[in-house]
Amino acid sequence: MDLIGGSHTDDSAIVYIPKEKVLFLGDCIYGRRYHGVYGYKKENLFPMIDRVEKYAAEYYMMSHMDHYDKSQMNKLWDELRLAERIVGNETSIHKCIDRYSREAGSSSSDDMIFYIKCFAEVNEVLSKKQTKPKSI
């Protein structure tokens, strides 16, 4: 067992079975709520992904989803990285979807729209939280 942290909770744990090359991820790949908005902060998500990728796993078991093989997991990581790169610090989902369509030369998949929303909406709520004046 490895306490991996990540985007879902600070104390997310994973379990690796080396003989079977199976990594149990539980909920660690999912986002969390930031002031009522579900999504990801890159500062939490990507260090966790980097740690997961160090395991010699061939199969990944997650809560709420079918199991993934290595290629499916790599595709998920690539999509999350791309969504974050497209979003950056942007808060407008529509601008991000347009940016994705221009760069990819195609329309966004439902999954990509979801990932873009997960980053952009968290950016928006956290930027509002930071600019809110403190009461005296």
For the beta carbon of residue 135, count every other beta carbon within 10 angstroms: 4
- What would the pLDDT profile of 77-97 be if each residue is shown by its tens digit? 999 999 999 999 999 999 999
Highest mean pLDDT (candidates 15-19, 63-67, 128-132): 15-19
Question: Residue 13 — very low, low, confident or very high, per pLDDT cuts 50/70/90?
Answer: very high
| 37: pLDDT strictly greater than 60 | yes
Rounded distance between C-alpha atoms, residue 41 and residue 22, angstroms? 26
3-state SS record for 20-43: CCEEEEECCCCCEEECCEEECCHH
| pLDDT, mean of residues 12-41 | 95
Give me the pLDDT at residue 5, please.
81
Give me the pLDDT at residue 67, please.
95
| 134: pLDDT strictly greater than 60 | no
| 129: pLDDT strictly greater than 80 | no
Rounded distance between C-alpha atoms, residue 69 and residue 76, angstroms? 11
| 49: pLDDT strictly greater than 90 | yes
| 4: pLDDT strictly greater than 90 | no
pTM above 0.75, yes or no: yes
In the chain, the N- to C-terminal Cα span, in Å, equals 46
